[in-house]
Structure 1
Amino acid sequence: MSTRLAAVTRPFRATGLPPRRLAVALAGLVGVEALLLLAWLWVSPGDVTAPRYLLYPFVWIDASLLAAALVLGDARGRQESAGGRPGAVAVLVGVGYAVLLLWAGGLIGRGGGSGALTLLTAPPGWGPIILYDGAVRLAVVPFKLIGYLVLAWLVALVVGAAGRPLVSGALGLVTCVGCTGPLILALVAALGGGSVTAYAAVSDLSYDLSTVVFLVSLVGVTWSVLRSRH
């Protein structure tokens, strides 16, 4: 039992922070995020009708940072550099996968060519949002960008370690609203006989569902990376 416990806690210890100190670091991060959110609520006009949407970006960001810390910490404990350098094929898969997630999540797309650059204010984590409309349309939404890039990096590590790009990519394919939302909405609309009420109800839960799927996928890919090293 002690051997299994040591194996489970080794990535935490390898980060350079004992579990207790890591918990304190995470608590400090959450504290800073809470202060940012309170400051935004103080200066922002209007009422918040769905408070959970203010918290989801921090869930994505914190979970992504924790996953990256565990993988890098585990590599440091094994004296690997940069979390284990993936090969050229794995890098290409990771980049392609990142592009797929960014496109499906609405962060990149076909632009109108106007060259307009816009900065939008939004709650912490959601914003500030940067929009660019050139040959390619770009939208920088902080929590999505961080989550997708970390997930793509982890997939590249799994591919590099296991050489199974199709299986690895499938782990996170449904992590974004752009991927899961239309499928779920279409399914509910079909089951509800095309009911507008049913469609609207699931649409309201799209970020709830995508956050759950993102976390499950992130845990699965992180576990795959750590497992591939043992």
Structure 2
Amino acid sequence: MSSNTARSTLDALPSERVLWLGLLCALELLAVVAYFRFTSSELVSVRYALYPFVWINVGVLAVVATDPIPTARRYRLLGVAVAVGYFLLLAWFAGMVSLAPAGHDHAASGVSVAMPSPGWGPTLSYTGAVFQFALVPFRVVGYLSLAYLVYATVLESLSASATGLIGLFSCVSCAFPLLSSLASGTAGSAAALATVYAFGVDLSTLVFVVAVALLYWRPGVPSRGGA
């Protein structure tokens, strides 16, 4: 085989990143199949079982492909502060973190772990005297990836208000007031709101992907640090 033929063959092979992604998807599918095969849980919807991996895979790919530009330490600290605040804001609107309800029985406080299907679980929950949280794996990974992309955006001295805030709408609970106000002035608004609830996971997954895409590519930016 000539050197040119060998080079053409190597160029035709999938990149290392694609191979790792394929392996990751295979392991995720195997985990889902094994979960429903060896537990008493019933698979109600295939898409709801797979949506968590859309969040995880898209988020991880965006983070791996993003290389924040080198900059001064004070700007990195500012970027970290903005990213942490952004993540906490997302977690708050998503209901992952909240204040403990009034009149909460402190005897019931503590840590618990639930085991829904992979991606949805294992879910770590905590209820205390002041606050409570429920960490759903795919949302944690998704929101961390959005926060990292916001960090990279801040380092490029850009305002994250236009694209970064779109990430807020990856949680239907924070998009709901907007959808509610739009629907309130139309006939059949109750049906429209019911549709939002019925397809909440679908909508949040779609907007999450759009948010990641806008934060990664940032249309109109002349230069960026992404790979």
Q: Do both proteins adopt the same fold according to a TM-score greater than 0.5, normalized to the shorter chain? A: yes
Match of 1:191 in 2: 186
Aligned AA for 1:129?
Answer: T
For the 8 Å contact 1:185–1:203, the answer to whether it is kept is: no
Match of 1:50 in 2: 45
After superposition, the C-alpha distances for 1:42-80 in whole angstroms (9 at most, x for unaligned) are 1232532322110100000000110111114xx6xx8x6
RMSD: 2.7
The aligned length equals: 205
For the 8 Å contact 2:163–2:214, the answer to whether it is kept is: no
| Residue 144 (1) aligns with residue 139 (2) | yes
Please give the residue correspondences for 1:105-124 in structure 2 after superposition, counting only pairs within 5 Å: 105-112=94-101, 114=106, 115-124=109-118
Match of 1:10 in 2: none
Q: What is the distance in 1 between the residues matched to 2:163 and 2:115? A: 36
Aligned AA for 1:211?
Answer: T
Instruction: Identify which range, 27-36 or 197-206, moves more after superposition.
Output: 197-206
Unaligned stretches of 5+ in structure 1? Answer: 1-17
* Structure 2 counterpart of 1:100, from 89, 95, 98: 89
Q: What is the distance in 2 between the residues matched to 1:185 and 1:191? A: 10
Please give the residue correspondences for 1:29-44 in structure 2 after superposition, counting only pairs within 5 Å: 29-44=24-39
Unaligned stretches of 5+ in structure 2? Answer: 1-12
Q: What is the distance in 2 between the residues matched to 1:226 and 1:56? A: 33
Q: CA deviation at 1:161?
A: 1.0
Q: TM-score of the superposition, structure 2-length normalised?
A: 0.79
The higher radius of gyration belongs to 2
Q: What is the distance in 2 between the residues matched to 1:117 and 1:226? A: 47
Aligned AA for 1:152?
Answer: A
Q: TM-score of the superposition, structure 1-length normalised?
A: 0.78
Q: What is the distance in 2 between the residues matched to 1:26 and 1:37? A: 17
Please give the residue correspondences for 1:170-209 in structure 2 after superposition, counting only pairs within 5 Å: 170-185=165-180, 187-188=182-183, 190-195=185-190, 197-209=191-203
Q: CA deviation at 1:95?
A: 1.0
Aligned AA for 2:153?
Answer: V
Q: What is the distance in 1 between the residues matched to 2:127 and 2:199? A: 29
CA 55–190 in structure 1, closer or farther in 2 if over 3 Å, else same: farther
Q: CA deviation at 1:188?
A: 3.8
> Which protein has greater RCO, CA pairs closer than 8 Å, 6+ apart?
2
Q: What is the distance in 2 between the residues matched to 1:68 and 1:86? A: 19
Aligned AA for 1:175?
Answer: S
Q: CA deviation at 1:149?
A: 0.9
CA 194–146 in structure 1, closer or farther in 2 if over 3 Å, else same: same
Identity of aligned residues (%): 33
